Structures are given as structure tokens and as C-alpha cells.
Amino acid sequence: MAKELTRGEFFAGLFALGCASGLASRLIQSIHRLGWVDALLGTFEISVIVWASCAAGISLVLQDKSIGIRSSELVLGTAFVLLAVLPIGPLSWLAVTALSLYIIGTAEVSSLRRGAVILLATTVPMLWSRLLFQFFAEAILRIDASLVGWLLGTRRTGDIVEFADGSGVLVILPACSSLANVSLALLCWVTLSQLVSHKKSVYDLLWSLMACFSIVAVNVTRISVMGLSQWHYATFHSSWGDAVANTTILSLMIGFCMLGVRRELSQRI
């Protein structure tokens, strides 16, 4: 007798398809732009936090062993597949968003709901923060430029800051914005807290804000160092400079989030 499909297996399969489709579009773009080796070394320009969160969310959803998939959920699943199979990454993340919201609003099993919360948070850096940037790019870049100009003590015009030695100007590009890393910090907090079933605390906001502020500080400091002179720009605007900055940001992000859930972590050790 064939084993009946569990709700966890059904929803985990849908989420796996949605995440794979959404990540694939970014993966293909990265390979096309950088080549196989550089794209692989750079995790295909997708943060390890995103890769880990997708895996964590799907694994939690899969833990639901209850039986009984509703007919309305089959219809929802069909619509999900139709969106996910299209070669348009944002549509896959939109489908993941809709399914996550449905599960969060209806699920009775804790692991299913916690997994959906993680996957919903994953769509923020992969879709929603990017859309936000499209509408408010100028204002967001001006914030970074203002902080850099303040640290360097030089004039700023829009997203352009003068070098400290007066040898030129530094343009703050979208790839240099702090917004992307802030959304990753929030994703890291959601993923860790849901994985360990963290009990809400008045200090949660403090730890998540510490993670966000430290990331902004590292990003702005790095850009400011590059803005000291043409030599500093050429030296720190490099692959190793990116590696050092990204490693520092990742370490601070995970470190502050782990401090926030240290009680639950210590109970699991």
C-alpha cells in the first residue's frame, strides 16, 4: 500500500521548487557574468545566509507528519507550480511569499509555521528589498553617501562624495548600499530564532538592531577608507577587500544573532 503524502512533504516540495527556481535565475546570471569558477567561489553572488535559510525553512516544514491535504491547498499548489516553473526569478519568490503567508495564517503545527516564517523572511533580501531599492534608490544611496561624507569631512552631492585628498570623487553605487546587508541581518535573526524556538524577549530588538547597525558601520567604514585617496580606492576596492569586508559582516551578523538566542543554544549543547 502506497504511503500517503504528508502535509510537510507536500509544502516542502513546493517550497523547494520555488526556492530552486528563484535561486537558479540569480545563479545563471552570476555564471554568465563571472564565469563558473569565480561564481562558485562567490557562492553565485547569493549570501550563505540565504542558502542556509532556504535549507532550514524547508527542513522545518518537512517535519510536519500530519495527513490531510485540503482541496483548496491542491489548487494553491497548482498555482504555485505555474508561477515557480516560469523562468522569472521574482515570480518564484512572489509564490514563496504567498504560500508562506497562507501557512503562517492557517498552520496548526509549530514546525510548519516556523519554517514558513523563515522562508517568508528569505524573500525579503531576494525580492522585497530589491523592489524597495528600485523606488527609493536615490534616498537610500544618499544616506550612505552622507555618512561617508561625514566621516571623511568632505562635500557630498547626491550619492557622490569627494575624496579626502581632493584627487577625485567617489560614487556610491547600488552594490555598495548597506540596505542589502541589513535585510540579510534580519533574515539571519529570524532563521536562528525560529530554528531554536526562541522565546520572545524585550531584548530581541536590541540584538537585531545591534546586528544591523554593526553591518552599516562596517560598510560605511570600508567605503570611507576607499574615499581617502585614489590609492586607497584601488587597494580596498578589490576581490580581497570584498572578501575581508564580507567575512567581517557575516561574523558580526551571526555573532549578534547568536548572542540573542544564546539561552536556547546553550540548552541544545
Q: Where along the chain do its domains lie?
A: 7-268
Kindly report the pTM of this predicted structure: 0.91
- Condensed to tens digits (0 to 9), the pLDDT of residues 116-134 reads 999 999 999 999 998 888 8
Q: How far is CA 87 from CA 22, 56, 146, in A?
A: 9, 24, 39
Per-residue pLDDT tens over the stretch 77-102: 999 999 999 888 899 999 999 999 99
Mean pLDDT over each residue of the chain, to the nearest integer: 90
Backbone φ and ψ for 164, nearest 5 degrees, come out as -65, -30
Residues 6+ apart with CB under 8 A from 231: none
Q: What is the pLDDT of residues 230-269, one digit of tens each?
A: 999 988 887 788 888 888 999 999 999 999 999 898 887 6
- What is the average per-residue pLDDT within 129-153? 89
Grid cell locating 269: 549543547
**Residue 103 pLDDT greater than 80, yes or no:** yes
- C-alpha dihedral sign at 2, 7, 10, 16: negative
pLDDT attached to residue 226: 94
pLDDT score at 1: 45
pLDDT for 33: 81
Residue 37: pLDDT band with limits 50, 70, 90: confident
Percent of the residues in the chain that have a pLDDT greater than 70, as a whole number: 98
The mean-pLDDT minimum among 10-14, 30-34, 75-79, 259-263 falls in 30-34
